[in-house]
Homo-oligomer: A and B are copies of this chain.
């Protein structure tokens, strides 16, 4: 009996599958993860938001991944998971702030970045991501699924004193008071990138727009974004 849906007849469909390069040429951009790293309060989210606005204005397709949209879903803490999935489930899969938890947090974000890259999008991530190994592992994961250059590390290098003075969420205050343990920059190390693609000095005289624009110039110069 002939069957039009028989999978063995579907070589044609697979041949017409939309590829990353199809999307990219339509969008005028290359799928890229722009990985911002730096201390809490260094300006990652602000730069990420500004970068996304600038890219949007040029017609680019972007997504922004940060604590706000990742922590209640993809990398939810145990207490959130327990409500919907029970305690045993939450204990296994929920993410706290231990070393292993942070590693898995970064791994999941990198895996999602990889999916966005494969669909030709520019994914901007804004996480402290303090460990060099974890960022290196994210780079490998993304580049091995795609190509070298798909991962752009941006070090937002703002002196601790400035971050602590800003303290937008009052976290440094709590960390100094011992109310938060393992706080990056206070009681936990931050390992700066040794050779980031872009090195922004936070707290200098430039505006956020100028800083975000440095990233755009890089993307254009490296052929990842069609010049305006």
Contacts and interface: CB of A to CB of B under 8 A. Distances in A.
Interface residues of A, number: 69
A13 to B, nearest CB: 5
A115 B73 contact: yes
Interface string A40-52: 0101001001101
A203 to B, nearest CB: 6
B108 A3 contact: no
A29 B139 CA distance: 32
Contact of A73 (B26, B119, B145): B145
Interface stretch (A172-180, A186-194, A204-212): A204-212
DSSP majority for the A interface?
A: helix
A23 B65 CA distance: 16
A107 interface: yes
Interface in A4-27: 4-8, 10, 13-14, 16-18, 22-23, 26
A31 to B, nearest CB: 11
A153 B211 CA distance: 43
A92 B92 contact: yes
A65 B115 contact: yes
Contacts of A50: 13
Contacts of A111: 73-74, 76
A103 interface: yes
A45 to B, nearest CB: 8
Given A3-B166, A5-B158, A26-B59, 4 more contacts: A3-B162, A5-B206, A7-B168, A13-B46
